[in-house]
Amino acid sequence: MQTKPLVIFLMGPTAAGKTDLAIALRQHLPVELVSVDSTLVYRGMDIGTAKPSPEEMAQAPHRLIDIRDPAEPYSAADFRADAEREIADIVAQGRIPLLVGGTMLYFKALLEGLAPMPPADPALRAAIEKEAAEHGWPYIHEQLAAVDPVSAAQIHPNHSQRLSRALEVYRASGRTMTELHQAQQRDAGPAFQERFRLVQLAMAPQERRVLHERIAERFHKMVEQGLLEEVQALRERGDLHPALPAIRAVGYRQVWEYLDGQAGLGSIFSQEEMIQRGIAATRQLAKRQLTWLRGWPELEWLYTQSETGDMRPLQEILRDALNFIGTEAI
C-alpha cells in the first residue's frame, strides 16, 4: 500500500494551456490547485499575467493568487513557505495538491530547498545596475563567472534580475550562491520526494513555432483587453517603480517603458513596437522555461500537437495526464 501523500506538478512554458488542463483535471480527481507563478501572486495585475478569470476561479479555485501587493517583493523562499503550508492543508483534507505554473525556480525551491541568502542590499544592487548601464549585462555575467562559474553557467548573460542577485550575494557575503547551496544541501532535512509521492507533468507543443504563435496571439489579446490601462493604473498609484519585481515582469516592463515615453520620461517608441517588444520578451521567457524543463528529471511530457502537427483536443491531453497519474491517485 502507498503510504505517502500524492502531489502532482503541472509545468510548462507560458501560453501552453496549463490552466485549462488543471481545471479539467479537477473535474476527474480530488485535487486542489496551487499556483506556481511569480506574477499571479500580485493583486491588480490581472490582464498581463493571464490570471484565471473569475469564472475559472469559481470553477477551480487556485491558492497563492492575489496574495501580495505589487509594492511587496515575493521571493522563492516566500513561495516555498506558502506552498508547504498549502500542501499540508490540502493533504490534511484528504485531497491531492496539484501545483500548476511556469515559475521553474519555485518548483526547484520546493524540491531542493533554499540556501540561506543575505538580505537584499539596495546600495549594492544599485551599484551593479549602474555597472550594467555602463558596460551591459554580459559584462556583469563575466564578473559573476570570475567568482562563481557554476552559477554563471546556469544564468543567461541577459537575465538581469538573476545576474544582479547572484553578484549581489557574493559582494554582500563573500560567499557564492554555489557555496551557499552546497551548504544548504548538506544541512537539509528530509527531501520533498521522501515525504510525498510525486508525479511531474509538463505540457508544450513540439514545435516552437506553435508556441510563438500562441504567445503573439495572447499578447495582442491582452492589449485589446486593457493591458495599457492596467499598467497606467499601477503607475498612477505613485509608489511603484520599474525596479520592483512586479513591474519587471514580462509585458509590464515593456508597457511601462512605452508609457514613460508617452509621458516624456524615456525613449519614445510606437505602440506596435511596444507590442513586439512584449512578444519578444515573452518568447525569451518561454525559451528559458523550456531550457529548465529539458534538464528536469522524472518528467512526463504532455504534447499539445498530434503527429500531423494539428493541435490536440484538450480531452486527449487530459486522458494522457490521467494515464500518467494512473493508480498513484488511488
State whether 269 and 316 are in the same domain: no
- Segments of the chain assigned E as strands: 6-11, 31-36, 62-63, 96-101, 197-204, 300-303
Question: Containing domain of residue 160, as a range?
Answer: 122-184
Q: CATH number for the domain including 169?
A: 1.10.20.140
State whether 272 and 312 are in the same domain: no
Domain assignment present for residue 63? The answer is yes
Tell me: the pLDDT tens digits for 303-325?
A: 999 888 889 999 999 999 999 99
Three cell numbers written together for 17: 494551456
| Grid-cell match 506556481, residue found | 36
Tell me: the pLDDT tens digits for 129-183?
A: 999 999 999 999 999 999 999 999 989 888 888 899 999 999 999 999 888 877 7
State whether 105 and 202 are in the same domain: yes
| Grid-cell match 510548462, residue found | 12
Tell me: the pLDDT tens digits for 201-230?
A: 999 999 999 999 999 999 999 999 999 999
> Measured between alpha carbons, how far is residue 122 from residues 91, 165, 167, 266 in Å?
39, 11, 13, 23
**Torsion sign over Cα 203, 207, 208, 209:** negative
State whether 311 and 240 are in the same domain: no
Which amino acid would we find at residue 152? A
39 pLDDT above the threshold of 70:
yes
Q: Work out the burial of residue 236: count CB atoms within 10 Å of its CB; fewer than 13 is exposed, 13-18 middle, 19 or more buried.
A: exposed
State whether 316 and 201 are in the same domain: yes
- Considering just the CA atoms, what is the radius of gyration of the chain in Å? 20
| Number of domains observed in the structure of the chain | 3
69 pLDDT above the threshold of 90:
yes
State whether 215 and 202 are in the same domain: no
State whether 301 and 179 are in the same domain: no
Q: CATH number for the domain including 221?
A: 1.10.287.890
| Grid-cell match 494551456, residue found | 17
pTM comes to: 0.82
